[in-house]
Structures are given as structure tokens and as C-alpha cells.
Amino acid sequence: MNKRFLKWLKDRLGDSFDLIDPQEFDPSLSTAELMDEAEKKFGLLMKKDEAVRIRRLVVISSLIPKIPLGEKWVTYRSRPLALGPYVVVCSRWGCRHNPRCPQVFVEVTKVEPFELSGMTDEDAQLAGVESAEELKRMLVRWYGLNPRIYRNWFRYLG
């Protein structure tokens, strides 16, 4: 792999560089072409002078592939997420699935309080779950009875 490109990418991403797999870049490209490709793929994750902090968003492994397909646009949590970029992971301790979960980047764009009692099937489907009852069961299992819930909207970055 092109050492100059890797140094440039690490400088732009800082600590978030460890979340990127350099093997996904074509080693036959020139440094300039590699930089262009990285800007297209991770442009919103980078700043000109300093790296943006990329947080981790833990999501059930079966839902991660639905994000690039446009079948998942929100996540319901017991706390509001900070706006900005996230790498979606299936576990805080690293993926142990075979095959590995796809590497997905999203940007949280909007956060709003949400009443669990008013959840519809359409609300659940925004999160990639078929029915409101199924999603309510999951949220109660994770957060207890009558939790305060926030709907966190995101958009797919790559």
C-alpha cells in the first residue's frame, strides 16, 4: 500500500484511522487517485485541518446490511445520540461473525424524543424491524418498562 497515502489518511482521520480498512483501496492507484477516492468515500468524516471524531454505534448484526439498502434510517435509544459521523458495529468488542459484518458509516442528522406508546409498524420499519410489537419487546428488554426513548435519524455515508 502507498505509504504516502496511508500517512495522509491517518493525518486526516486521527484516531478514527483504526476504524478504516486500508485494504479496501486499490493499491494500483496513484497517491492522488487514492486521496480522491478517500475524499469521496469518507469526505464528511474528514476536515481539512483536523480529524472529526467518529463514534461507534452498536447495532444488531442482522440490521447492519439493511442500512446501505435504505431499509433502516433510524435507531431508537434510551438517550439522544450526538449529531455527527458514526461507524456502525455489531459489538463494542469487535465483530466475531463469519463472514464479518459490513463496515458501514452513517451520520446522525436529527434526534427527537419519541413516545413508545404511539409507535406504529411504519415507525418500526424505519428501524429495519417488521412490527411495532417486535421493536417494543426489544426496547423493553434492553431499557426496562416505560423507558424514555429517542428516535435518532441518520443517513448512510458509505
Give the residue with greater pLDDT, 19 vs 6: 6
For residue 140, tell me if it sits in a domain.
yes
By mean pLDDT, which of 21-25, 49-53, 78-82 is the weakest?
49-53
The span from the CA of 134 to the CA of 23, in Å, is 38
| Same domain as 61, residue 19 | no
Q: What is the pLDDT of residue 136?
A: 92
The span from the CA of 155 to the CA of 158, in Å, is 9
Maximum mean pLDDT: which of 20-29, 54-63, 149-158: 149-158
C-alpha 139 chain-centroid distance: 19
Range of the domain at 22: 3-45
**Model pTM greater than 0.85?**
no
For residue 16, tell me if it sits in a domain.
yes
Query: What average pLDDT does the segment 101-113 reach?
Result: 89
| Same domain as 146, residue 103 | yes
| Same domain as 142, residue 103 | yes
Antiparallel, parallel or unpaired: β 84-89 and 149-156: unpaired
Q: What is the pLDDT of residue 110?
A: 93
The span from the CA of 27 to the CA of 41, in Å, is 16
